[in-house]
Structure 1
Amino acid sequence: MRITVDSDRCVGAGQCVLSAPDVFDQDEDGLVVVLDPRPAPGEHDVVQQAGDLCPAHAITVNED
């Protein structure tokens, strides 16, 4: 799994952090930060959920 984010699209809703706090965080402006761009297999479901919940579609999740 590989995660990319488009911080220009991020609206700071924080759904990613709530869904996968070990993988995502927010910077001082509230924009998404990826803590782990290649999370462990046990995190894949919550990361996919975070991408699906993002209201701005700022998160892209690709399976390797």
Structure 2
Amino acid sequence: MLERNLDRAKAHKPIVIEVAGEPLGVVVPHGQGYRFLAVKLPAFAIDGQEFASVELAHVAVSQAVRDGLSPAA
């Protein structure tokens, strides 16, 4: 029984999302895609959002960081 729980834990292991070498959050499997959980302020604008892929989550985090650094923000 313990072995089955370990397999399930591996399947739900968070994937770190980094921008410019800085970890800003993680994605975890959720439904048919991934849910983003922010750990740094620049990424909190998209905390909790769901994405179809890890790559789409990374693009969204990168955009959130760019938007946060713009002079108009």
Same fold? TM cut 0.5: no
Say which structure is richer in strand.
2
Quick check: which one's helix share is greater? 2
TM-score by length of 2: 0.27
Larger Rg: 2
